[in-house]
Amino acid sequence: MNRAVFPAPPVRRSALWPLLPILLAALLAVAGWNYLEQRREQLRLLEKQSVELAQRLAGAAPAAVSPEPSPGRRMDEILYADSEALAAADLQSRLTAMIAAGGARLQTVQILDAGDLPPFRVIRLETRFLGDHEALRRVLLALEGQTPPLLPDALSVRARKDGAQLLVDLEVSALAKITGEEPQ
């Protein structure tokens, strides 16, 4: 007899049962991988949106901006305000938005005495916030790319809870041109 005419004996169903968990595990691994990729993409999108929001918030509330730039300086390199208090409030709102967008939790913000650098004033703030390493990285990157530039004067980082959380003290300054008109 010719073997080609007769098919091989059928495989018993009981022989397939050991393969079922392997097949199921492979399907779950593929589905899990796709789910993780979707989550990573959502996190990237959320991070991008939070940075864009922080930039919009930081740029949306200028304190009594005066249209005339000082000779020799670009207008976006310094703060323009009617008083030191308004310049400090503007700087505080920018810094608060950066910290929140970075994923850190703000604890305190203190306005320090302004310095004099004629014809400008140096507006200084001290802040303390709590966050992880990634939040600190995002805050420092936002600080670096801020316009007008915010200059870090002092940075102190202490680890809490096995290094997972950081307590950060940050002192920041910015140049401001005060027009001299006090708000009513």
Amino acid at 182: E
Task: State the pTM of this model.
Answer: 0.55
pLDDT at 182: 47
Contact 63, 89 (CB under 8 A): yes
Fold of 42-178: Alpha-Beta Plaits (3.30.70)
The answer to whether 123 touches 132, Cβ cutoff 8 Å, is: no
pLDDT of residue 1: 52
pLDDT in tens, 2-27: 555 666 666 666 666 777 778 777 77
115-117 and 79-81 as β-strands: parallel, antiparallel, unpaired?
Answer: unpaired
**What per-residue confidence (pLDDT) applies to 150?**
84
- Angle subtended at Cα 95 by Cα 89 and Cα 98, rounded to the nearest 5 degrees: 145
Give every residue of the chain whose pLDDT is below 70, as ranges: 1-16, 58-77, 180-184
| C-alpha to C-alpha distance for 79 and 65, rounded to whole angstroms | 8
* Angle (nearest 5°) at CA 12 between 9 and 17: 145
Give the residue extent of every domain in the chain: 42-178
